[in-house]
Structure 1
Amino acid sequence: MHLDQWALSRAALDLSGATSAAHAVRSIAEYLPSADTAVVVVHGFRDGLWPDSPTAALLDAATADRPVVALSGDLHSGWFNTAALRRFSLAPHPSGLLTETEFMPIMNDVQRVDPAVLDRRVDAAVRAAAARGVVGVTDFEIADNRAVWARRIAAGTDLLRVRCGIWPRWLDQAITDGVGTGDAVPGTRGLATVGPMKVIVDGSLGTRTAYCHAPYPGGGNGVLSVPPRELVGLMSRATRHGLECAIHAIGDQACEHVLDAFATTGAHGSVEHAQLVAEKDFRRFAELGVIASVQPAHVHDDADLAERYWAGRTGRSFPYGSLLSSGTRLALGSDAPVAPLDPWLTLAAAVDRTLPDGRVWHREHEIPWEVALAASTGGRARVTNGDLADLVVLDTDELPTTGACLASMPVWGTMLGGRWTYEPAA
């Protein structure tokens, strides 16, 4: 997940319900008078099924000279008005819709807020997560996460365990410091540990940039952000210095390249997302010992997109059943803010492929409750004597295993290392 972005999105206008660019612009226009920042940043638009296109001109008509940026729900594109393009030295731009390599380098600048404000919002998001039973996250924020979390935990934001993702920009520093995946971050009382190196090799389904073998209906196979040779170099270096690798791959050709890199380097770690996988590659996950780190709640947002843009291939998209039957280890998460930081929504979507409109989508990829639970708890499926007391106490007499009941699971209390992090009022 991306904790800073999740925290910021909780306080911003949510465009996920917009059904067209015009609808989104109307929502932004209504929101503007209440926005108090120099650059207005809103979140969550999903334009893959819109009948019209998001353009700077359309935003300009409602926002005038006030800089406005809308971030897509998958975080792979940003929709800028002309004032925002000028603000970030991007003008002129043909459309105002920036994707992938033209957007990613400036995403942090677009969302920049005072560090004290950001830390307060993160603290609030962490408290809300604890109230839903979350005891730990892997933070893939594009930042020096070890330093960030040492500061936050020292300041009292200490209700979660955090695995600190290492992006290539900070790989040299991690190597210089001699740290490897699993090492404790000094000064955090063991709450923060070094996570894996994170690399994004392709785009997303929502932005139509996931790198696929077959072309998209409008042409093109997506975007390969990191070529195979460069990826092998990064993974080899990380592996030599004790870091696991977490590699973002959504399209089937991207997944193939990433599995090839794991085979070449002998690296340990995960493919993040694995939303479209070639039939021949299911078994390779298990053979290589590569974890499929997946986000079941994304199915609710992406099923219709997959039907349009991956037509004829949806039987191997979000293919948790096929991965599981091949012997692959699954790890479940949210990738918040792409989906809410709520493990019960994740579990519900993993065991029940019923979409919000009642349709059942590829039931063959539902996974058993016991498997989903273990994949959401780092492999721990039960509590035994001597375990670390990271516990969730549920306000129910019987543990439901159906999707609807899981999604609304009542959490009575959450404990981290024997310390209550969420305790209801007496």
Structure 2
Amino acid sequence: MSSILIRNARLVPIGSGEHAADAPVDVLIERGTVAGVGPDLDRPRDVDEIDAAGRWIIPGLWDQHTHLAQWTLASQRLDLAGARSPEDATLAVADWIAQHPGLPVVGWGHRSAGWDREVTVSELDAVSGDTPVVLISGDGHHAWLNTTALMHLAMPVRDSVVRETEWFAVYPRLATLVGSDGTSPEAYRRTLDAAAARGVAGLVDFEFGASREEWAERWGQGCDRLRIRWATYADTLDDVIAAGLRTGDPLSADPRLTMGPLKIISDGSLNTRTAWCCEPYGDAHRLEYPSGQPNLSGAELREQLARAHAGGLEIATHAIGDAAVREALAAYAETGARGAIEHAQLCRRDDVRRMAELGVRASVQPAHLLDDRDVTDRIWGARSERCFAFRWMVDDGVELALGSDAPVSPLDPWLAMASAVHRSADERGPWHGEQALTVREALAASVDGRPTVGVGSRGDLVLLDRDPLLRDLDPADTAELGAALRAMPVATTVVAGHVVHDDR
């Protein structure tokens, strides 16, 4: 923990009933905590000083849902986000192999729910030969592999994609195919530095197949830029409980690296059409499970929640379909567990109210609506009015926490806020704009529950070159608000009193 004095900063009121200060103030951080806020503060001996020069100051931003190794690797992968058909994807693979002969292909980002047919392994084999190819869906819930890759990863040969639990289990073995250079300490530091440049002070890491020992080792190798909460999955839960680790406990001598929640993936996704819904999908005739399906039985879900809760862990339960959300809430109620619904993409109004009653957070990723807008209208139809229902959540008293699910969406809190406020990424108007957040609400959901900077605040602060509440703009012009949020200029990021980014 460190100390620093920031002079001439404008406080940004985070709470809905708060008001901006009339004039800039000084902010003193001592030993990682805000110790003073006011005009003309005395500078203690041996404390560094920076001049904010009238910039706006907010608590450090958080991304509450990342897969950090996958995001770090993303820059080295074949980008398939623009593929509009299986033919587009196979052509991109053939081009990549021609340009990188002898190297395995790992692609990311295709969204096959928008394609007019299912893909086959044989058509991928036809363009790849003996080169291993793994194409990971943009939602992370399935992968399209060729036969060479299936055999290398010791998977049964088939002519269809690998989905859900089977894919999650094999994902950590990708390192045997492509190596781990993309997740070296240097690569992680670049990722963390890029996050700090967007004002991010902390991340929750839901990486598959990771371990707390790996993060502690990585921390000692210079990946100590930001606060990190490491989440466990069921396969490492016994180890976490045996070690006596509870959510919030430090994982190293540095209290910025802490134990996070247990992550449970209770259903699938929209793009893979495995999210568990109360009614069938619009293209149910193509599906083995017309309404999607749960990944766990009700008994299995409750057993995991109860065991983690007894061990002092919060739980982060992935639930995208409305049936999955309802079942997860019932499990929280019956076990007394605490934590969040991750995604909560399709909800019934009564279940949103139930979320508020139980004190279960909604950990949501607004930028997903940009990618899912068209496919949602096509295969969920009128249910789209209940998708990304942020206004219901705020009005009903649900605590919101914004994130990205990187690499599903970019690790950029300003993009998440812009998506929550404008709900469109193109020339079309807001998609179900009645569910939009205000700029202030989006910012409040991005600072890890921190209030306006004051004495006792965590010493994680961001200086901005523009008022993040955009009070100089028309609040009804959400397109302009969204554009301004996406372009928000970050001058300085401070974590626990350490300057981790400075572009003043």
What TM-score bracket applies, with the shorter chain setting the length? over 0.9
The 5 Å alignment of 1:333-412 reads: 333-396=403-466, 399-400=469-470, 402-412=481-491
Correspondence for 1:103? 167
Report the 3-state secondary structure (helix = DSSP H, G, I; strand = E; otherwise coil) of the residue aligned with 2:420: helix
Cα deviation for residue 191 of structure 1 reads 1.6
Aligned match for 2:137, one of 47, 55, 72: 72
Deviations for 1:22-79, whole angstroms, at most 9, x for unmatched residues? 1111122222244477532111111111134322122122211111010000000000
Aligned to 2:251: 185
Report whether the alignment pairs 1:209 with 2:274: yes
Match of 1:149 in 2: 215
Q: Does 1:81 align with 2:81?
A: no
Counterparts of 1:271 and 1:127, CA distance in 2: 29
Residues in 1 aligned to 2:362 and 2:122: alpha-carbon distance in whole angstroms: 41
Matched, 1:293 2:363: yes
Is residue 2:205 matched to residue 1:139? yes
Q: State the partner residue of 1:3.
A: 68
- Opposite residue 342 of structure 1, the aligned amino acid is D
2:86 matched to which residue of 1? 21
Give identity over the alignment, percent: 43
**1:415 positional shift:** 1.1
TM-aligned CA distance change 1:398 to 1:148, over 3 Å = closer
SS at match of 2:113: coil
Provide the C-alpha distance between the structure 2 equivalents of 1:90 and 1:359, rounded to a whole number of angstroms: 45
Equivalent position to 1:320, from 370, 386, 390: 390
Hey, what does 2:502 align to over in structure 1? 423
> 3-state SS of the aligned residue for 1:243?
coil
- What letter matches 1:412 in structure 2? A
Could you tell me which runs of 5 or more consecutive residues in structure 2 were left unpaired when the two chains were aligned.
Answer: 1-65, 285-289, 472-480
The answer on 1:197 being equivalent to 2:254 is no
Secondary structure of residue in 2 paired with 1:223: coil
Match of 2:348 in 1: 278
Equivalent position SS for 2:79? coil
Q: 1:139–1:145: 8 Å Cα contact kept in structure 2? A: no
Contact 1:82/1:91, CA 8 A, preserved across alignment: no
Report if the CA contact (8 A) 2:461-2:493 is conserved.
yes
Give the AA of the match of 1:218. D
Q: Give the counterpart letter for 2:358 in structure 1.
A: L
CA displacement at 1:207 relative to structure 2? 0.6
Q: Is the 8 A contact 1:41 1:111 kept in 2?
A: no
Question: Is the 1:129–1:342 contact (alpha carbons within 8 Å) kept by the matching residues of 2?
Answer: yes
- Paired with 1:49 and 1:81, the residues of 2 have a C-alpha distance of 21
Task: Give 2:108's match in structure 1, choosing from 40, 43, 66.
Answer: 43
Give the conservation status (yes or no) of the 8 Å contact 2:106–2:135: yes
Preserved CA contact (<8 Å) 2:73 2:182: no
Matched-pair contact (CA < 8 Å) for 1:344–1:406: yes
SS at the partner of 1:313?
helix
Judging by fraction of residues, say which structure has more strand: 2
Provide the C-alpha distance between the structure 1 equivalents of 2:426 and 2:175, rounded to a whole number of angstroms: 31
* Alpha-carbon distance in 2 for matches of 1:145, 1:299: 31
Q: Distance in 2 between matches of 1:340 and 1:41?
A: 18
Partners of 1:272 and 1:398 lie apart in 2 by: 26
Cα pair distance change 1:44/1:334, threshold 3 Å = same
**What secondary structure is seen at the aligned counterpart in 2 of 1:217?**
coil
Q: Distance in 1 between matches of 2:173 and 2:350?
A: 41
CA offsets per residue over residues 116-138 of structure 1, 9 Å max, x none? Answer: 54123222111111111111000
d(CA) in 2 for partners of 1:357, 1:67: 39
Q: Partners in 2 of 1:174 and 1:277 — Cα distance?
A: 32
Q: 1:7·1:122 contact (CA, 8 Å) conserved in 2? A: yes
Q: Does structure 2 retain, via aligned residues, the 8 Å contact 1:165–1:197?
A: yes
- Alpha-carbon distance change, 292 to 37 in structure 1, aligned in 2, over 3 angstroms: farther
Change over 3 Å in CA distance of 1:145–1:88 after alignment to 2: closer
Report if aligned partners of 2:391, 2:437 keep a CA contact under 8 Å in 1: yes
Q: Which amino acid aligns with 2:389?
A: P
**1:351–1:111 Cα change, 3 Å:** farther
* SS of corresponding position for 1:135: strand
CA 1:398/1:296 → structure 2, altered by over 3 Å: closer, same or farther?
closer
Unmatched runs of 5 consecutive residues or more in structure 1: none
Instruction: Please report how far the alpha carbon of residue 334 of structure 1 lies from its aligned counterpart in structure 2 after TM superposition.
Output: 0.4
| Count of aligned positions | 423
Structure 2 Cα separation of the partners of residues 123 and 161 of structure 1: 13
Please give the root-mean-square deviation of Cα atoms over the aligned residues, in Å.
1.7
CA distance in 1, matches of 2:417, 2:321: 23
Task: State the Cα distance separating 1:152 from its structure 2 match.
Answer: 1.0
Amino acid at match of 1:216: Y
TM-score (normalised: structure 1):
0.95
Letter in 1 for 2:223: T
SS at structure 2 position matched to 1:378 = coil
Separation in structure 1 between the aligned mates of residue 468 and residue 150 of structure 2, nearest angstrom: 54
Q: For 2:341 and 2:123, how far apart are their aligned partners in 1? A: 37
What's 2:297 paired with?
A: 227
Distance 1:90 1:417 in 2: 45
Shift of residue 270 of structure 1?
Answer: 0.1
AA in 2 matched with 1:133: G
User: What residue in structure 1 maps to residue 235 of structure 2?
Assistant: 169
Give the equivalent residue in structure 1 for 2:123.
58
- Please tell me whether the aligned partners of residues 41 and 110 of structure 1 are also in contact (alpha carbons under 8 angstroms): no
3-state DSSP class of the match of 1:404? helix
Q: Which amino acid aligns with 1:53?
A: E
Q: Call closer, same or farther: CA 1:91–1:266 in 2, change over 3 Å.
A: closer
Q: Distance in 1 between matches of 2:438 and 2:182?
A: 41
More displaced 10-residue stretch of structure 1: 342-351 or 214-223: 214-223
Native 8 Å contact 2:343 2:364 kept in 1 = yes
**How far off is 1:381 after superposition?**
4.0
1:397, distance to aligned residue in structure 2 (A): 5.9
Q: Do the aligned residues in 2 keep the contact of 1:22 with 1:52 (CA within 8 Å)? A: no
Counterpart of 2:147, as a letter, is T
